[in-house]
Chains A and B, each alone.
Chain A
Amino acid sequence: MKYLDEFRDPIFAKSLSENIHKVTTRPWTIMEICGGQTHSIVKSGLENLLPSSLSIVHGPGCPVCVTPLEMIEKAILIARKPNVIFTSFGDMLRVPGSTSDLLTVKANGGDVRIVYSPLDAVTIAEKNPDKEVVFFAVGFETTAPANAMAVWQAHKKNLKNFSILCSHVLVPPAMEALLSSSTNRVQGFLAAGHVCTVMGYEEYIPLAKKYNVPIVVTGFEPTDILHGILMLVTQLEEGRCELENQYSRMVKKEGNIPAQQMIFNVFEISHRKWRGIGEIPKSGYSLKKEFIHFDAEEKFSLGIVSVEESPLCIAGNILRGLNKPFECSAFGNQCTPESPLGAPMVSSEGACAAYYNYKRQNVASSGSGMVNKKH
């Protein structure tokens, strides 16, 4: 594949890996923010190309993982209603609520559909004027422009039967929440490349300064990630705390202005609860007042839904980089991708599922070279 194979070149990867080994003189703990990066790291087996003194912890950047349980419960309540077509990205369907999930709602006769774009949900609404069509608008800044566009289009088309269940979150406030926590052990960040493609990276510069932490905007292909790690470790070793851009082929300082404009046509910044972390001020988007009739929570008058997390699940610690999935007592026994207790076991981008799928067996100790590093 053009423009992808170049970034999966084993010779280039090897030279990056050698350079990382060369510059690393001390143990460092670094975090990749984005679930897409977690997936890529584990899927390509990158960790065994890195020095054992580097500890890679996986951040809260999987939208499936951080969507609060209450939202899943609200989605299930809406999807069960008889006149509703509930549309969602694929991975959200398997996330367990307190007693059910969207796939089960579908099996029991609910009209739950996977869409590949929020605009598909708008089309479904146009084609089914007698039904209420709801789109589960989750994600970070990356999915926000398309979700905003869906609302904007529905507004332009004067659709009365379209709404979104909005659970949008933002990266920089989450990073700040991690950095300001007394338990923080992250010394450097790989920032999420596609979030920055939309938003640019200006808002990360003050974070790097305030918390004395180097941040490297990084892409998603294996060599992108190795290159990002090399840049980050170089900064750490040299005692620099700057914002650098590894993913310059996609990310501009100012980001994608028309996409940002579309976001702010429709959304405003609001407080959001993060699964496993709790409420973070100004950490998400909600629909602006003039678009409130597109808000499914309002439309279906859901009010406050309260639910309990499984007491066994340590998803919060995993998402804050305090524990690795292996360190959870439920990992692989009470909690598996088939019957997940917490969201990080559901999405392929969730740290627990990524570990379960790709690293579960400690194969390497048997001499094949694959090591599950206990950092």
Chain B
Amino acid sequence: MTNDISQGLNCPVPMNDYPTIVLAHGGGGKLTHQLIERVFKKHFSNPDLDLMHDGAMVSVDAGRIAMSTDSYVVSPIIFPGGNIGELAVNGTVNDIAMCGARPKYLSASFIIEEGLSMAELETIVASMALSAKKAGVSIVTGDTKVVPRGKADKVFITTSGVGMIPEGRLIHPSRIKAGDTIIISGTIGDHGMAVMSVREGLEFESEIRSDTCALNGLVEEMYRVSPDIHFLRDPTRGGVASTMNEIAASAHKGIRLFEKSIPANENVRSACEILGFDPLYVANEGKLIAIVSSSDAAKVLSAMKKHPAGTESAIIGVVTDDHPSVVVLQTAIGGERVVDMISGEQLPRIC
């Protein structure tokens, strides 16, 4: 039996159906194209992406745009309530929405460690597509690199995005005034504790689920009832405490929070209690903090509660001219304390 050399050497093993990512998937050759076709284009397909040009050429309305980028390195990549893909889409959508903008287009860049199973990658890509659809954004350009085993942790995803800021919206720390009301869109600490709970060595009886979700729909509802929102932030890494400190410092205002008004799920509070964490410092991926004038607070709160992403919204504090740049918590027990930024990671307490 002779091989027809003109058609290339035939290997008895079919080379194109790898169950895992191999280095060659990032080589720019046939396997790369196959990966793009069979995984990325299959799920992300849209006219702008399908051109497969070096960059996306898209139309935008006249006016100001908001732009943001974020990298996602969460471990484990799939956790209760979500996965790294959903996080990557929702996170950037939310960062744009916090500028008062309507997110439109995303890019997605993957750094994949060889050995990641194709099934896991597809799960992640499929949920990115679903999250993008839910948020009303298109993934219009992307990139894939594969690195040797041990040089990354399964998959790292970077998403960037742009959105249009409708006329009349202005989010800026200088707009934060003494007397303004601080609203949160729901329970705190769910994402951080969901991820903690599946890290090695921790098992809780009841599942804690990540709160990852897109907030642009909620923001639109809020703007519908009040075109004059002063400030928006999503309290992700470092939690509510760190975000409030950043806001206090950038606005040079004092912030007073009311501990008993800050919503937190029972299972999150219990898990934090066991590990010695403070839920105020635990990450959220589907919550926003809004600062509005006290006269707008009631209608904004009521609009938020009607939106699925904000049913448990609550007023948690006020802005003050006292103690500029400092966040003070009125404790549930009736005391007071300063809430500082966290230094380093929250480490479990000894006893």
Contacts and interface: CB of A to CB of B under 8 A. Distances in A.
B269 interface: yes
A181 B331 CA distance: 37
Interface stretch (B171-179, B305-313, B321-329): B321-329
A360 B326 CA distance: 10
B4 to A, nearest CB: 51
B351 to A, nearest CB: 5
A42 B340 CA distance: 13
B344 interface: yes
B270 A358 contact: no
B334 interface: yes
Nearest to A42: B337
Contacts of B202: 116
A138 B328 contact: no
Chain A contact-residue range equals 35 or more
Contacts of B338: 357-361, 363, 370
Contact of A337 (B331, B343, B348): B343
B349 A143 contact: no
A138 B333 contact: no
A264 interface: no
A229 to B, nearest CB: 13
Nearest to B202: A116
A132 interface: no
Interface string A109-133: 0000011110010000000000000
B331 A120 contact: no
A47 B323 contact: no
Contact of A114 (B323, B328, B347): B347
B273 interface: yes
Contact of A338 (B326, B343, B348): B343
A347 B323 contact: no
B30 to A, nearest CB: 38
A63 B347 contact: no
A348 interface: yes
Contacts of A321: none
B336 interface: yes
A43 B326 contact: no
B322 A138 contact: no
Interface in A277-304: none
Interface stretch (A76-84, A88-96, A235-243, A305-313): A88-96
Contact of A10 (B273, B333, B343): B333
A357 B273 CA distance: 18
Chain B contact-residue range equals 20 to 34
B119 interface: no
A4 B333 CA distance: 12
B19 interface: no
Contacts of A43: 278, 331, 337
Interface in A337-375: 337-338, 347-349, 356-361, 363-364, 366-370
A44 B333 contact: yes
B337 A370 contact: yes
A360 B340 contact: yes
B333 A348 contact: no
B350 interface: yes
A44 to B, nearest CB: 5
Given A45-B335, A363-B338, A338 B351 contact: no
A367 B351 contact: no
A188 interface: no
A234 interface: no
B333 A222 contact: yes
Nearest to A10: B334
A36 interface: yes
Contact of A4 (B273, B323, B340): B273
Contacts of A194: 351
Given A48-B336, A370-B337, A90 B347 contact: yes
B61 interface: no
B334 A13 contact: yes
Contacts of A222: 331, 333, 335
Contact of B340 (A9, A64, A358, A367): A358
Given A63-B351, A116-B201, A139-B350, A368 B336 contact: yes
Nearest to A221: B333
A8 interface: yes
B148 interface: no
Given A43-B337, A45-B337, A369-B336, 15 more contacts: A4-B273, A45-B334, A90-B348, A91-B348, A91-B349, A93-B347, A94-B347, A142-B351, A222-B335, A347-B350, A358-B340, A359-B337, A360-B340, A363-B322, A370-B338
The 4 closest A-B pairs by CB, nearest first: A45-B335, A90-B347, A337-B343, A90-B348
Interface of A: 1, 4, 8-10, 13-14, 17, 36, 39, 42-49, 63-64, 89-94, 114-117, 120, 138-140, 142-143, 194, 222-223, 336-338, 347-349, 356-361, 363-364, 366-370
10 contacts: A10-B260, A36-B349, A43-B331, A63-B350, A91-B350, A114-B348, A115-B201, A357-B340, A361-B326, A363-B336
